[in-house]
Structure 1
Amino acid sequence: MPSSSFWRSLGLGLALSSYVSPNSASQGSSPFCASVATVGQILDQLLLSAESTRQLVTFALILGRLLPIIVLTPFLGGKSAPIWVKMGVGVTLAIMVAPVVYSQEQVPATTNAITFLILMLKEIFVGLCIGFILAELFFIADALGRLVDLFRQTTMATAMVPELKERSSAFGTLSYQFFIVLFLAIGGHRLFITGVFESFITIPVTVMPAFQGNMEPFIGLIMLTAARLLMVATALAMPILAATFLTDVIFGLLNRTAPQVQAYFLSLPAKAMAGVWLFAAGLGMTLDVLSREAVIYLEDLNNMLRLMR
């Protein structure tokens, strides 16, 4: 009876003959030869599938970092964009950044489920940090508009902000939408997308953030950006506060000299018009400040990524 090595040699010979002559089955050869060749091709595909699986896992990790950024970033759709639009933008950006990641050999050595889950949670955390920094930049404009309407005493009128899916005051909505246009006009979106792509080099998908052994600088930077939001918004709204305060003083003196005049009701439209006029007069200064803040926040984004290494 032939040994097992004989049958293995026979199978290998049949597979090689079928590989050399792929049309042999159509020329009258045995169907067994074609089936052996098919098995050999399947084995080759299985050997390649391991590498393909690792690349697919890497692509999923890239998408895990990009999707939180897309949800939190207003000019990429924000919360109001449909899910299929967010997924489409995320997949498009992931396809663009995937060659950079693959060229850096940032492919997980294993596709273990626990390892994948840990890496995915890390990528979501990094994406949330990046999106948080940029979202704070746009909240400066929203806070500025809210403060202007607060000083003008016109907070009763509200409008929906599509990117936030929440209501804001009239000037808050105007300032938010206006700053999105300004950010795109100064090319901030290009700098931001470049920073997001470079984050995959600074913090590879296969490396856990070490925070340089100390999380205090990272936490301090996050708190500083949040404090800067309030500081800049308040500073820009101070001229309107001064104008409305002077209006109250003038109508208060009028009320003392002529009590029969309804000074309070007369002061409401006066303060509203004074706030609008002063906001329009200082619009150029506001644009300059917001443009500088956009550059500062993008620099803070790069600093945050370096602190996370």
Structure 2
Amino acid sequence: MPSSSFWRSRGLGLALSSYVSPNSASQGSSPFCASVATVGQILDQLLLSAESTRQLVTFALILGRLLPIIVLTPFLGGKSAPIWVKMGVGVTLAIMVAPVVYSQEQVPATTNAITFLILMLKEIFVGLCIGFILAELFFIADALGRLVDLFRQTTMATAMVPELKERSSAFGTLSYQFFIVLFLAIGGHRLFITGVFESFITIPVTVMPAFQGNMEPFIGLIMLTAARLLMVATALAMPILAATFLTDVIFGLLNRTAPQVQAYFLSLPAKAMAGVWLFAAGLGMTLDVLSREAVIYLEDLNNMLRLMR
């Protein structure tokens, strides 16, 4: 939406253009009036061009915030999605966000290169912060699966995680993909889109983050979310750790009483099966915890945006 200053300036051009009626200009009664009308038309064209340039710059700034979020967010494709897919998703979201930004009159007053570069770096930083919080939410599931395979001693079996473009353990890949489906099933994507829209209201594209004069709460929140990732993943993996520990104790006693049984080699499939059974038995609890963590991380995202104002 064009700003109010644009309409006032355009009104000046229209006033100059209408200073002379078309009949008087065509009859040549006043060369001065004809010149004023021509200047008014040129002024209108220049103002329209300048306003279009500012809106295009604003759209580029919106895209600068959205692209890091798309790259870091797994359910939007992550690192495995082709560049043209990421750009298409980014442009689509930018078209949806643009009316919100224009309605808030968040159009830069100037379009010089230095101002644009500073604002673009700020938008990329904000997008990276949002994407980091959302990516940590999915890393909980990946860390949980890796810990389960570590306790089961099955870390040698790895599989490619498409969203991360790297290899993970078998349970890590399973839990990561499963949590993406769970996140979409509980409506997390709707909360994500709402949070992205609200980020442009909380931190406009033309305003530099002030961090409320103190960056310590912001840094503390980032560190807290990272620590929460490890805490939740370890807590969810503790029952599997207990099961594998008891299996080791049982086969250790068996090895002392009957050394010829080769208890160590027998314990490997037993620990693997115990881990799978216990994970399946506690799957309902795991889903509840991950669902609550999804809501908590989305709340942390809103808190982070407020701390950046």
Whether TM-score is above 0.5 comes out as: yes
Looking at structure 2, the residues matched to 166 and 11 of structure 1 have their Cα atoms a distance apart, in angstroms, of 58
Query: Does the Cα contact within 8 Å between 2:106 and 2:205 map onto a contact in 1?
Result: yes
Q: How far is the alpha carbon of 1:44 from its aligned partner?
A: 3.3
Q: How far is the alpha carbon of 1:43 from its aligned partner?
A: 5.3
Q: Cα gap change, 1:267/1:120 in structure 2, threshold over 3 Å: closer, same or farther? A: same
Query: Does the Cα contact within 8 Å between 2:16 and 2:40 map onto a contact in 1?
Result: no
Q: How far is the alpha carbon of 1:194 from its aligned partner?
A: 0.2
Looking at structure 2, the residues matched to 59 and 219 of structure 1 have their Cα atoms a distance apart, in angstroms, of 29
Computed over aligned residues only, the root mean square deviation of the Cα atoms, in angstroms, reads 6.9
Looking at structure 2, the residues matched to 295 and 2 of structure 1 have their Cα atoms a distance apart, in angstroms, of 37
Looking at structure 2, the residues matched to 15 and 81 of structure 1 have their Cα atoms a distance apart, in angstroms, of 53
Q: Which is greater in Rg?
A: 1
Q: Cα gap change, 1:16/1:129 in structure 2, threshold over 3 Å: closer, same or farther? A: closer
Query: Does the Cα contact within 8 Å between 2:160 and 2:168 map onto a contact in 1?
Result: yes
Query: Does the Cα contact within 8 Å between 1:188 and 1:294 map onto a contact in 2?
Result: yes
Looking at structure 2, the residues matched to 162 and 25 of structure 1 have their Cα atoms a distance apart, in angstroms, of 69
Q: Cα gap change, 1:241/1:279 in structure 2, threshold over 3 Å: closer, same or farther? A: same
Looking at structure 2, the residues matched to 12 and 129 of structure 1 have their Cα atoms a distance apart, in angstroms, of 44
Query: Does the Cα contact within 8 Å between 1:15 and 1:36 map onto a contact in 2?
Result: no
Q: Cα gap change, 1:88/1:20 in structure 2, threshold over 3 Å: closer, same or farther? A: farther
Equivalent pairs, count: 309
Query: Does the Cα contact within 8 Å between 1:19 and 1:37 map onto a contact in 2?
Result: yes
Query: Does the Cα contact within 8 Å between 2:101 and 2:201 map onto a contact in 1?
Result: yes
Query: Does the Cα contact within 8 Å between 2:158 and 2:169 map onto a contact in 1?
Result: yes
Secondary structure (helix, strand or coil) at the match of 2:159 reads strand
Looking at structure 1, the residues matched to 2 and 52 of structure 2 have their Cα atoms a distance apart, in angstroms, of 39
Looking at structure 2, the residues matched to 260 and 147 of structure 1 have their Cα atoms a distance apart, in angstroms, of 31
Looking at structure 2, the residues matched to 252 and 13 of structure 1 have their Cα atoms a distance apart, in angstroms, of 91
Q: Cα gap change, 1:20/1:89 in structure 2, threshold over 3 Å: closer, same or farther? A: farther
TM-score by length of 2: 0.88
Q: Cα gap change, 1:38/1:130 in structure 2, threshold over 3 Å: closer, same or farther? A: same
Instruction: List 4+ stretches of structure 1 deviating above 2 A.
Output: 1-47
Q: How far is the alpha carbon of 1:7 from its aligned partner?
A: 30
Query: Does the Cα contact within 8 Å between 2:130 and 2:301 map onto a contact in 1?
Result: yes
Q: Cα gap change, 1:49/1:176 in structure 2, threshold over 3 Å: closer, same or farther? A: same
Secondary structure (helix, strand or coil) at the match of 1:160 reads strand
Render the CA deviation track for 1:181-234: whole Å, top value 9, x for unaligned: 000000000001100110000000000000000000000000000000000000
Segments of structure 1 that go 5 or more residues without pairing to the other structure are none
Q: Cα gap change, 1:50/1:240 in structure 2, threshold over 3 Å: closer, same or farther? A: same
